[in-house]
Copies of this chain bind each other. A is one copy, B any other.
Amino acid sequence: MKSEKSSILGVLGGGQLGRMLIQSAINYNQDIHILDPDPQAPCKDLAQKFTCGSLKDFDTVYAFGQDCDVITVEIESVNADALAKLESEGKQVFPQPHILKLIQDKREQKQFYQKNGIPTAEFILTENKAEVVKNKGFLPAVNKLGKEGYDGRGVQILRSESDLDQAFDAPGLLEKLIDFDKEIAVTVARNKKGDLIAYPAVECAFHPTANLVEFLFAPAEIADSVEKKAQEIAKKVILKLDMVGILAVEMFVTKSGEVLVNEIAPRPHNSGHHTIEANFTSQFEQHLRSVMNWPLGNPELRCPAAMINLLGEDGFTGEAIVEGQEDALSEKGVYIHLYGKKLTKPFRKMGHVTLLDEDIEQLKVRAQRIKDLIKIKA
């Protein structure tokens, strides 16, 4: 680590994920430079250097990388060509640019799973709306745009022919709608030396309309055989990608106990926020360790946990006010994380709460109560 002491880590994106990464990096005197288009990004005041600029512009990303020794991302939609050039010129770029390109295109992602024997929902590639309509026999299905989808954008459910009107008219795919029992996620991490660890599976509960994680519970209440299968699949994905860094693998558990990969994210992810307090090593520190080629940390759970996303309340836009925080803080094992965003809008991720409780039933009751208690308004 001696030789890397003074190396600079550049991060594309300065949102909450970058912010929590910086919180971890402080413990290691690890300098971080941030690039983000928002002059008020959550990382602005915390990075050793903050550059305001586009993540998608080749020249901006390329110029930003010049100062850095290692470059990583907190969001996938970045200019991967600029990163590839930086990589070819000797910079360490993790996740590697070819992986970012794969992730940026859901069509390529699905083909990657298929080619590598990674279980995933059956799918058909479609070039435009007409092709979706032509495949109406495949419904009920999820229609996904190939590119630019994020946090539920670019994804729609087509249950029956009457939904076909809304189908995307751009290259995408139709994926069989899975009548799943649970949605789970396993985070894996790998460094350049090849060390590989997997976190225990967590269970996600999505917001009914916003298609965002609303609650998360760790550990997932699944059979040991399902846990084992999920961990094996997640490890297989990162190995087949030959990826360095942290990777969140979201999966469906079907009613028959099958495990199917849904989406992957090659960076710290919402499904790992609880690890800050609940696990021996947080996903943010693990990301840092993996991209800096340090030894990986132990991923075990220290205590059952719930994670509640604090989303901007529907109907409120403007300067954020946090309600109910004080009552929540009075409880044992409640950890509030606000992301430093001045402005709220409906469903914007403004923060999260981690809740620790040895009693798993109690955890669920308390998680719901805390969600009802804390509101982000304007």
Which A residues have a C-beta under 8 Å from some C-beta of B?
Answer: 1-2, 5, 19, 23, 26-29, 45-46, 48, 280, 289, 294-295, 297-298, 300, 302-303, 321-323, 325-326, 329-330, 332-333, 335-340, 356
Contacts and interface: CB of A to CB of B under 8 A. Distances in A.
13 contacts: A1-B325, A2-B321, A2-B322, A23-B23, A26-B46, A26-B340, A45-B48, A46-B46, A295-B329, A295-B330, A298-B332, A302-B302, A302-B303
A279 to B, nearest CB: 11
A3 to B, nearest CB: 10
A27 B329 contact: no
B280 A322 contact: no
A23 to B, nearest CB: 6
Contact of A321 (B5, B48, B338): B5
A28 B336 contact: yes
B333 A298 contact: yes
Contacts of A298: 332-333
Contact of A27 (B26, B280, B333, B336): B336
A330 to B, nearest CB: 4
B280 A29 contact: no
Contact of A297 (B29, B303, B329): B329
Contacts of A289: 329
A333 B302 CA distance: 10
B45 A2 contact: no
Interface centre among A5, A19, A329 (most CB of B within 10 A): A329
A326 B5 contact: no
A298 to B, nearest CB: 4
Given A2-B323, A27-B337, 8 more contacts: A1-B322, A27-B335, A27-B336, A28-B336, A280-B333, A297-B329, A298-B333, A302-B303
Nearest to A30: B338
A321 B321 CA distance: 44
Nearest to A342: B29
Contacts of A330: 295
Closest 9 CB pairs of A and B: A298-B332, A295-B330, A29-B338, A1-B326, A295-B329, A1-B325, A27-B337, A29-B340, A45-B48
Contacts of A332: 280, 298, 300
A313 to B, nearest CB: 14
Contacts of A356: 280
Nearest to A300: B332
A19 B28 contact: no
Interface centre among A26, A332, A335, A340 (most CB of B within 10 A): A26
A11 B38 CA distance: 29
Contacts of A335: 27
B326 A295 contact: yes
A302 B333 CA distance: 10
Contact of A26 (B23, B48, B295, B323): B23
A14 B35 CA distance: 27
